[in-house]
Amino acid sequence: MYLKSLTLKGFKSFADRTVMRFEPGVAAVVGPNGSGKSNISDAVLWVLGERNAKNLRGQSMEDVIFAGSSARKPVSVAEVELLLDNTDGTLPVDFAEVSIGRRMYRSGESEYLINGNVVRRMDVLDILHDSGMGTGTNSIISQGNLDSVLSSRPEDRRALIEEAAGILKHKERKAKSERKLAQMDAHLARVNDITAEVERQLKPLERKAKKARLYKDLSSELANLKLALAVDDLRVLQQKWDAVLASEKELEASQQTFKKELEASEHTLDALQRQLHERSNQENSLNERYRRSQASFERLNSTAMLLREKRSGYLQEIERLTRFLEEARVRRGAAEHELAEAQEAAEKAKEESVKAEKLRGDLEISYTQRVNKRNDLRKKIDTLMSEQRALVHRQETAKATQQALRENLSERRARAQVIDAHVADAAERLSFAKEQSETLETQASRLEGDLARAREEEASTREKLNALVVARDAARCALDEARTAFTKATAERAALEELERSSETSNPAQAKMMEEAKTLSSDCSLVSHAVSAPAGLDVLIEALLGPELHAVIVSEDSDAERLIFAVANSDAVGAIATFAPVFKEDGRSFPVGPRRLVDELDIDPRYSAQVGALIGDVFIVDTFSDALSCARNSQGTAARFASLDGCIASTDGKFSFVRFSEADKQNNALARRRALAQAIKEEERCRADYEAAQSEDGRVESELRQAQTASLKLSESLANLKGQSESARRDADASMRALKQLEGEHQRLLAEQEENTAFFEKAQPDSDELERTLSQVTADLELNKEKVSELEETLSPMRREIVSLSERLSDARLETARLSERLAYTDRMVSTRKQEISASSREDASSMQRIHVARVAANRADELLATLHSLSDAASLVSTRLEQESRSEKEQSLSLHDKIAQATKESREARERFESVASRISEVRIEKGRLEVQVDAGVNVIVRDCDTPLEVALAGDRLDNRQEAEAQASSLERRIKNMGAINPDAAEEFEQVSERHAYLSSQLEDMRLARKTLARIVNVIDERMRDDFVATFEQVNANFSDIFSTLFPGGQAHLSLVDPDDLENTGVDVNSQPVGKRVKKMSLLSGGEKSMTAMALLFAVYRIRQTPFYILDEVEAALDDTNLRRLIAYINVVRDETQFIMITHQRRTMESADILYGVSMQADGITKVISQKLDNATRKEG
């Protein structure tokens, strides 16, 4: 792969569309300074994805767009297109040529293109990954950046080895994986929190959902039982109704029949009785014989009909098989025709394949012969070219020596003339430098004092800032504690309220009354809400009041009645009570001494009268003995005396005792109300503490931000003072160094003057000898060029012949493959058609056999049918004769006497039946009316009460055990009533939360697995990068030593790792020792030595991982002729392996190029380009 062309339009100084076409080898770009040569390397770097404007010698990306000149307006877009030859498939795209383009608009929009299609920058980088190109590539050395290879940090030089090893893409993948891991950890924490919160909600919802499902299931089961019982009732009634209807119809039909029989028996009594008695026996015998004969006749007819059906089936099968045979013969004929065609095609394809194979063999032999001959000519040309390069080198060496001597003399004479002027100027500059040094030293001392004072102030501010940070952390801890306490108090209060609501709604009747009480305009409350008792009396009050503790207190009698009526008119079950203000204490007398219970309680003033009506007569004593004594001493008054140990004594002689467990003491209604009140107070206190903590945290945060702002300003001021102080100190030190340098320069000039005088006396070059040597080398060079031209003329037609043979050989190979595939296809067709013909023959034989069997069966059926016809005719004649005899016998054998007796008996029985049926018909019609009413009621229950269509209800299964179903329905009704309030949406909410929890859990598991996978990927990438880095480092080190010794004959160089134990992060040091030197630091090398060392390192990397092309921008600017000659010689060695584009001012570099591009800039500020191919380019084409 190589760079074929570069198109620029609107990019920097290339305002007009400019196309630069390149070929393999070396291309030199030349031109004066400022003409825009380096813009070419910037354009290539930019189109490959560079996003740092500084690397493009600009301040912002808009700087790459042509900004206009005195003669041209600015353009709105910059566009660069890179065309690469991809015939070797280096890039992972199926194109022989790949164009990569980039556009930049002044609006800031940018777009990348691959073969004219807009793509992402990532797509461009992806296809360039393994080609050695892209951002950060070292194949493009911009102007002035060559020394950075040596002056950069060891960690930066490591990137060269990593690029050669091809592990930069692995580093990017590792970085992506690590970023994903960091994001995934944050997501995992968030998902964990959400999952925990959802899991916390699941259990309460699950309990409610179970209750709702149970209620739904019980209700559905109860409805089904009620429907089944109603349907069973209706079915029973339906059966009774059907039986009554059938009985009525039967009785009516019997009544009519009996009436007709009675009339007939009375009219024909005498005649029928005698005839029936005389001939009955004989008639029965004849009838029996006739019946048997008729049965035989019918069996024969049935058998004949069955035989006819079988015979018809046999004939149809014969007809179907005959048609199948005909169709099979047609198909077999077509298959035999296709078989013949396939065999003919196979023979033809075989002949053509043999011819094509023979032609391909002949062409391969001719092609191999031509290629071998061309290679021999190329070897000869290469030998001559090697000799030519040696002659050119000798010629250039002679010219350079002669020119160097002449230039040296001229330079020494000019230098001697200006030495005196330089000495006077150095003295003047020395005086000025002394004055400037004193001024700068004073200024540096003043700035250092200001810097010390600023540092003290900054330290004080930092101490204050640290104290505020500690206070901020303490405030945050206090805020977190207050938030936790407030959350806990809120949860406790909510739990107590929920417990209180559950207790109040456990009685459906009471829940209904509380719901109705909300509509009252006057005050109302539960007794437990209106009374607050101390911890020692709450159990005693619950024992005294019992269920009345949950009674409703109202202010008006009408309200109490309204509540009772509302509950009575509803379906709610349970016991309730309500109280109106009917209690009056005026005129009542109470015992003196014991404490009244109401005086010990905290009662809502609005309901003191109602509470007094309940427990106003209760007094508190210490023991049961005290209660008995007070009750006996208070006879005549209505009072109760309760002791603290649970005993209650009344003046009416009633005594009771109650004892509660510790759990009941903690869970009674008044204790719950008291705990709820305490929880509300605690919640309010925690809320106040939380708000105070929030306020304190905000105050400390505000002070901290102010302190941070002040500290930042001081830090900025300190940094400015430090920069000014260091700058002043550097200026003062530089002034002193300049002073010393001027003194040394004066001494050096005097020494140089003496050296020039000595040189003029000794330097007399032998120019005549150099001229003779140069003439001889020039003649040999011309002779060599003539020989190369002759061989080139012979090679050119041979190359065209090889190309033609290559094309013919490719066509022959393609034709051979096509004929082979065609031959295989025809063979498969022949095999397939033979199989079809064989299968058709086997099917024909089977069909013929089945036809023969069917014909035999049909003939057998014809014979049996003839026999059955004759037997049927005989049976028909016998039946006819018996029928005639039976009729004749009936007419002759009737006995009138017996008929009369029989008719008399039948007449009497008919009359009795007729009267009995009339009586039963009346009873049935009464029962019918009663059942009609019951059926209508049952239908209404099913359709209206059960809301089920009658047809659907009757389609259900019958009830097996009615008593068990009725008992089960009663049990379900009781269970539903005892369940209390139900949230019908709880089940749906639980399902949604469960699905969310399952989804979150699965996602959490997937994220954990993905995290493990990413971690494994990172480990694999690290291991592979380490192995590749070590192997590539060793290869680059060996290459570096080899190339350095070539560029610096006798010199040595090698690479070393800064920290060999840390292969993932270690830097790379460069160690070079030119011949005759002992250099410990790369900075001690000269400019040319640095450039050559850097080029040796780059070429060592290029040898490991070659890129399609290299752009070198004035890399040889610091080289002398000798080093430039060595560099050009090495480039000539590798020019056949890769492509070089060199931006240069050196004549030697231009002469070694295959093509020259001249770059110039006219007065309009626009770069123009012209190209010129050299003779060397023509030679390389061979």
- Determine the pLDDT at residue 891: 60
CB atoms < 10 A from the CB of 222, how many?
A: 18
DSSP string, 86-134: -TT--SSSS-SEEEEEEEEETTS-EEEEETTEEE-HHHHHHHHGGGT-S
Q: Which of 636, 667, 698 is the last residue in one of the domains?
A: 667
CA 934 to chain centre: 68
DSSP string, 914-983: HHHHHHHHHHHHHHHHHHHHHHHHHHHIIIIIS---HHHHHTSPPPS-HHHHHHHHHHHHHHHHHT----
Please report whether residue 938 resides in a domain. no
Please report whether residue 224 resides in a domain. no
Q: CA 11, CA 39: separation in Å to the nearest integer?
A: 8
Q: CA 718, CA 451: separation in Å to the nearest integer?
A: 7
How do strand 552-554 and strand 578-579 relate by DSSP bridges? parallel
CB 336 within 8 A of CB 771: no
Residue 178's Cβ-side half-sphere holds a number of Cα atoms within 13 Å equal to: 10
Closest CA to 682 of 492, 508, 908, 901: 492
Q: How far is CA 566 from CA 221, 569, 983, in A?
A: 29, 5, 23
What's the CATH number where 27 sits?
3.40.50.300
DSSP string, 248-260: HHHHHHHHHHHHH
Looking at the chain, how many residues does it have? 1182
What's the CATH number where 580 sits?
3.30.70.1620
Q: Which domain holds residue 596?
A: 508-667
Beta bridge partners of 1157: 29, 1171
- Determine the pLDDT at residue 1035: 85
Helices first, then strands: H and E counts in the chain: 23, 24
Torsion angle of alpha carbons 873, 874, 879, 881, nearest 10°?
110
- Determine the pLDDT at residue 1176: 46
Q: Give the position of tokens 């006749």.
A: 297
- Determine the pLDDT at residue 78: 92
Please report whether residue 78 resides in a domain. yes
DSSP string, 118-129: EE-HHHHHHHHG
Please report whether residue 13 resides in a domain. yes
The total number of structural domains in the chain stands at 2
Please state the pTM of the whole predicted model.
0.37
Q: Which of 667, 682, 705 is the last residue in one of the domains?
A: 667
How do strand 18-21 and strand 2-9 relate by DSSP bridges? antiparallel
CB 871 within 8 A of CB 242: no
For each successive 10 residues of the chain (1182 residues), what is the average pLDDT?
Answer: 88 88 88 87 87 82 85 87 86 85 87 89 78 67 69 77 70 72 76 75 72 74 74 76 79 74 66 58 66 70 74 75 77 77 79 81 81 80 78 74 63 62 66 74 78 79 79 82 81 71 65 71 70 71 69 72 72 59 50 70 74 76 78 74 77 72 63 76 85 84 77 70 74 75 72 69 60 78 80 76 76 75 75 77 78 77 75 72 68 56 68 71 71 71 70 70 77 74 69 76 77 76 79 84 83 83 81 75 76 82 77 82 83 81 86 87 80 58 42
Q: Which of 637, 667, 697 is the last residue in one of the domains?
A: 667
SS3 211: helix
Q: How far is CA 425 from CA 421, 431, 746, 748, 749, in A?
A: 6, 10, 9, 14, 12
Please report whether residue 318 resides in a domain. no
Buried b (16+ CB within 10 A) or exposed e, 129-138: eebbbbbebb
Please report whether residue 345 resides in a domain. no
What's the per-residue H, E or C state across 1070-1125? EEEECCCCCCCCHHHCCHHHHHHHHHHHHHHHHHHCCCCEEEEECCCCCCCHHHHH
Please report whether residue 341 resides in a domain. no
Q: Which helix (H) or strand (E) holds 320?
A: helix 269-504
Please report whether residue 1182 resides in a domain. yes
